């Protein structure tokens, strides 16, 4: 198990949980999707912390706050922030996949990457962004 890669994934989960909390004040129409995303990232964060402890590592705590790519002040900028954190989570979990041979961790990382990719696609669709789906989630979006 690569603890550094798992710590990076945990950091992405912390950022996602924080960002979903931030955007909940700006997205009324898709409140259920925001709640689902927040709950999924909380659960993944908790699982990742357990995996790190099981490996004998101390999980890194969340930052006090995170800086979205642009100021969040309406639904459009809120959705853009969600797309960013989902893409960041994809990249972090892809990093775990590339750095471990542990079967259970690979399955968990693949599930996390897939779930974040699906959420990112849904948010891109809501934003009217093209392409809606990207090939090879977790790689640079061009």
Domain segments of the chain as ranges: 3-127
| Helices 3-23 & 31-54 angle (0-180, nearest 10) | 160
What tens digit of pLDDT does each residue of 84-127 get? 999 999 999 999 999 999 999 999 999 999 999 999 999 999 99
In the chain, the percentage of residues whose pLDDT exceeds 90 is: 87
Residue 142 has pLDDT above 70, yes or no: no
Place domain 3-127 in its CATH homologous superfamily. Answer: Ferritin, core subunit, four-helix bundle (1.20.1260.10)
Please check whether residue 72 is in contact with residue 78, taking contact to mean a CB–CB distance below 8 angstroms.
yes
Token look-up 């392409």 returns 131
pTM of the model: 0.94
> Residue 27, exposed/middle/buried by CB under 10 A (0-12, 13-18, 19+)?
buried
C-alpha distances (whole Å) from 110 to each of 11, 100, 103 are 17, 12, 10
Please check whether residue 21 is in contact with residue 38, taking contact to mean a CB–CB distance below 8 angstroms.
yes
C-alpha distances (whole Å) from 37 to each of 53, 81, 85, 86, 123 are 24, 13, 11, 9, 11
């Amino acid at each position: 198990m690569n603890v550094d890669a798992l710590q990076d994934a945990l950091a992405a989960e912390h950022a996602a949980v924080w960002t979903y909390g931030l955007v909940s004040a700006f997205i009324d129409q898709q409140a259920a999707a925001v709640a689902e995303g927040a709950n999924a990232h909380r659960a993944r964060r908790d699982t990742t912390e357990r995996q790190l402890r099981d490996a004998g590592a101390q999980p890194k705590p969340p930052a006090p706050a995170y800086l979205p790519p642009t100021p969040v002040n309406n639904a459009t900028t809120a959705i853009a922030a969600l797309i960013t954190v989902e893409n960041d989570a994809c990249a972090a979990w892809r990093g775990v996949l590339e750095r471990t041979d542990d079967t259970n961790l690979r399955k968990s990382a693949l599930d996390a990457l897939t779930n974040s990719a699906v959420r990112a696609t849904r948010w891109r669709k809501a934003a009217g962004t093209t392409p809606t789906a990207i090939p090879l989630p977790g790689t640079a979006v061009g």
